[in-house]
A and B are shown apart, each in its own frame.
Chain A
């Protein structure tokens, strides 16, 4: 093994009350591929963003080739020959690949696209990229865009490359191609860091693996000396006792039946692939999976926000026993059918609530249409707001405070409170405790449990496996848009879930 290319010493970064990275120390050598493994929210991306100049650490040191450095901006990072390929590409759509690659670099003020193209060609030939440099970005597939990002970084002379979840958007074949390019770069002496949570990728690609869990550094192992179960254990940790009160489900009846739904997104990627499951009343159905595996599309298609290519969504009315198909209905049509469907979306302020409106007006979002009056009735929403503030202990100066001024936990209480107030028969919640402190989180768990006891069919999309195991009755695992298993939460283990989560990841073989 050669020299350390980059060393991190005791890096800590906090956002408000949330500690994203705590005393993380890490070393990357040149001529190696290091995987940084961890669950969602374990602080992988935050850590890498500090190397690439997006964030600045609260404390700790960064050493490059043995010298301590200060990286304040992406430009500084370029100067230290660090390049990061973000999950969300930073490309100008109407420019060609070549134009994007040379953008912003001052080569003595000269602009000679032919000359530059020649240099780009050298890079592409060297590492075996296949790309049409004259193609416009907006005509490109995701994998082509990623290639442009990588070439862009190499063109700037990067010796340290960071790739954030590079295979998340790629087909298995494209991922294989990327890996061979990465290996070639490693053999060329570059240090490569890939952020991932896909175990099989880690094992097949990297030389060493560093694991983060909940913002803390757990350890580094050589890939050849490890296996899936060791890595899973490092990643998910020991089972934590949470003491969430879970009651036995009573009087379970079919409430929502999802049958073979398929959904293709705008980029033409199949985001939901033959998904079928049943959500029963009086039960909490957990959905586990790596972020972006199709959870959002699944919930949105049930809520009437996502067009489906195929399949049916059947709702069993508890009162009449009537069965309605919700497929391709708008939220209003679903409501008009008498289906009381509540949905706590992942994007609280961008979708569930309106940040600039006060609490009362946000309460009204669901109910303002009721009644024949031309005017909105603020009396009931105001009472509801007061009730929620009191019952859930929302910290706010008053009911007329814009919700965007509230802290994350209080925003979520408002949103969940409103959705529950509609006395739903189906309640869907996507990552309802993300970014919340312990007390607020427990409050949300209790609310979900209460709903379950009231006979509501609860669907809970979560990321913390401990919580899923303690809170839910059944857990459905989704992986690359497919259901990889539905397990009994009382009998399953984190390891089992972890393996199911990566089942369809990348490769098609099962």
Chain B
């Protein structure tokens, strides 16, 4: 044994058995605080302003006026909606990183309905048509990779990633086909005169409808995952495929069904974006939220209620950093840098939740 001590490494990494829940949250919150400090330092270095002014600018940018609060909530709603969509698949350990394309397809279907049927169909028929079209378009986009995964174990991460760009090109094609004014390469506001196919403005607020829908979806998803039989099957398949087979779950069916659901919610997100927010469509409509949503969902440990917080955190940062860029004359990509830093810290903190580092000295105590 004596010889062994000399050779033993300085420290080694050990998987934690369990960590009290409160402590794991302390670690996570500390990591966010640390990240905010680092963000502050980066901002100071780049702008030369004092930190208090920077943070207050951020807060002002995010919630400084009624309009900004509405805009913040609207952005949270959309991001949250897409995060909800990707969550069931992730719980099943199906790495769908194609939400970007799935949402875009939903948006495309919505826009197409608005353009083709906006004038001709009565709203009572138009809205159901839009809803069904957007859900179907997105669901198809999600089901195709799921089908290949279920039958041939085709790598779903790479497949769904590629599907994003096909969706983008389809949208581009559509945009050029219907550019308004012709030849502008943009589609402009659809039905700007009639507002046909626009989602209703509740109490005069453009975004309230979106927010309510997403709130309902959040609760629905929470209940689905936690209390519904399908949600339970998703967890079993995600945790152990062997157990799933042992109790007679049809794994292929669960994969296809779950991806259909994922896609369908992406379709709703697309509908809200096009019919409820932009009233237009472009390649950039989703604005990488399909990817950001993956981080939102993962940071929240796939819990829809926590996702409200994580999506709020990310949108808050984006809006705040955007304000800093405007006020100090910087490029608005500043927000992405800050978001990146914060996510790196939170990702890193998971290591300290799951593993612990044992130093040589301490290790001897433990082994005795």
Q: For residues 283 through 333 of chain A, which have their beta carbon under 8 Å from a beta carbon of chain B?
A: 303-305, 330-332
**Closest CB-CB distance, A183 to chain B, in whole Å?**
36
Binary contact track B248-285/A, C-beta < 8 Å → 1, others 0: 10100000000000000000000000000000000000
Residues of B within 8 Å of A70, CB to CB, are: 3-4, 7
Tell me if B125 is interfacial: C-beta within 8 Å of chain A: no
Is B228 touching A376 in the complex (CB atoms < 8 A)? yes
A330-B248, A365-B236 known; A405+B17 contact, CB < 8 A: yes
- Chain A's closest residue to B230 (CB) is A374
The complex places the Cα of A369 from the Cα of B228 at a distance, in Å, of 10
Residues of A within 8 Å of B227, CB to CB, are: 375-376, 378
The complex places the Cα of A347 from the Cα of B245 at a distance, in Å, of 13
Tell me if A351 is interfacial: C-beta within 8 Å of chain B: yes
Binary contact track B215-242/A, C-beta < 8 Å → 1, others 0: 0000000010001110110011001101
Is B247 touching A72 in the complex (CB atoms < 8 A)? no
29 example contacts (A-B, Cβ-Cβ < 8 A) are as follows A59-B1, A70-B4, A72-B4, A72-B7, A303-B246, A305-B246, A330-B248, A330-B250, A331-B245, A331-B247, A332-B250, A343-B246, A345-B246, A350-B240, A351-B240, A351-B242, A351-B243, A352-B243, A354-B235, A354-B239, A357-B235, A365-B236, A368-B229, A368-B232, A369-B229, A374-B229, A375-B223, A375-B227, A375-B228
The complex places the Cα of A70 from the Cα of B236 at a distance, in Å, of 44
Binary contact track B27-44/A, C-beta < 8 Å → 1, others 0: 000000000000000000
**Closest CB-CB distance, A436 to chain B, in whole Å?**
20
Is B243 touching A305 in the complex (CB atoms < 8 A)? no
**Closest CB-CB distance, B234 to chain A, in whole Å?**
12
Tell me if A361 is interfacial: C-beta within 8 Å of chain B: yes
Residues of A within 8 Å of B228, CB to CB, are: 374-376
Q: For residues 296 through 324 of chain B, which have their beta carbon under 8 Å from a beta carbon of chain A?
A: none
Residues of B within 8 Å of A304, CB to CB, are: 248
Is A375 touching B3 in the complex (CB atoms < 8 A)? no
Give the number of chain B interface residues (Cβ < 8 Å).
Answer: 23
Residues of A within 8 Å of B239, CB to CB, are: 354-357
Is A375 touching B243 in the complex (CB atoms < 8 A)? no
Tell me if B18 is interfacial: C-beta within 8 Å of chain A: yes
- Chain B's closest residue to A71 (CB) is B4
Residues of B within 8 Å of A330, CB to CB, are: 248, 250
Q: For residues 363 through 409 of chain A, which have their beta carbon under 8 Å from a beta carbon of chain B?
A: 364-366, 368-369, 374-376, 378, 405
Tell me if A335 is interfacial: C-beta within 8 Å of chain B: yes
Binary contact track A152-173/B, C-beta < 8 Å → 1, others 0: 0000000000000000000000
Tell me if A497 is interfacial: C-beta within 8 Å of chain B: no
Residues of A within 8 Å of B4, CB to CB, are: 56, 70, 72
Residues of B within 8 Å of A427, CB to CB, are: none
The complex places the Cα of A347 from the Cα of B246 at a distance, in Å, of 11
**Closest CB-CB distance, B64 to chain A, in whole Å?**
43
Tell me if A483 is interfacial: C-beta within 8 Å of chain B: no
A345-B246, A351-B243 known; A405+B18 contact, CB < 8 A: yes
**Closest CB-CB distance, A398 to chain B, in whole Å?**
13
A72-B7, A376-B228 known; A366+B242 contact, CB < 8 A: no
**Closest CB-CB distance, B360 to chain A, in whole Å?**
14
The 7 residue pairs across chains A and B that have the minimum distance between CB atoms? A331-B248, A332-B248, A354-B239, A375-B227, A351-B242, A70-B3, A365-B247
**Closest CB-CB distance, B237 to chain A, in whole Å?**
10
Interface size class of A (residues with CB under 8 A): 20 to 34
Residues of B within 8 Å of A375, CB to CB, are: 223, 227-229
- List residues of A whose CB falls within 8 A of some B CB: 56, 59, 70, 72, 303-305, 330-332, 335, 343, 345, 347, 350-357, 361, 364-366, 368-369, 374-376, 378, 405
Residues of B within 8 Å of A364, CB to CB, are: 232
Residues of B within 8 Å of A332, CB to CB, are: 248, 250
The complex places the Cα of A405 from the Cα of B248 at a distance, in Å, of 25
The complex places the Cα of A72 from the Cα of B17 at a distance, in Å, of 24
Is A352 touching B246 in the complex (CB atoms < 8 A)? yes
Is B240 touching A354 in the complex (CB atoms < 8 A)? yes
Residues of A within 8 Å of B247, CB to CB, are: 331, 365-366
- Given A335-B248, A357-B236, 13 other A-B residues pairs in contact with their CB atoms under 8 A: A56-B4, A331-B245, A331-B246, A332-B248, A332-B250, A347-B242, A351-B243, A354-B235, A354-B236, A361-B232, A364-B232, A366-B247, A376-B227
**Closest CB-CB distance, B129 to chain A, in whole Å?**
27
The complex places the Cα of A70 from the Cα of B231 at a distance, in Å, of 51
The complex places the Cα of A335 from the Cα of B227 at a distance, in Å, of 23
The complex places the Cα of A361 from the Cα of B232 at a distance, in Å, of 8
The complex places the Cα of A365 from the Cα of B231 at a distance, in Å, of 13
**Closest CB-CB distance, B241 to chain A, in whole Å?**
10
The complex places the Cα of A102 from the Cα of B239 at a distance, in Å, of 37
The complex places the Cα of A369 from the Cα of B248 at a distance, in Å, of 10
Residues of A within 8 Å of B7, CB to CB, are: 70, 72
The complex places the Cα of A248 from the Cα of B210 at a distance, in Å, of 71
- Chain B's closest residue to A405 (CB) is B18
The complex places the Cα of A365 from the Cα of B247 at a distance, in Å, of 7
- Chain B's closest residue to A334 (CB) is B248
Is A305 touching B232 in the complex (CB atoms < 8 A)? no
Residues of B within 8 Å of A405, CB to CB, are: 17-18
The complex places the Cα of A362 from the Cα of B335 at a distance, in Å, of 44
The complex places the Cα of A352 from the Cα of B232 at a distance, in Å, of 16
**Closest CB-CB distance, B8 to chain A, in whole Å?**
8
Residues of B within 8 Å of A72, CB to CB, are: 4, 7
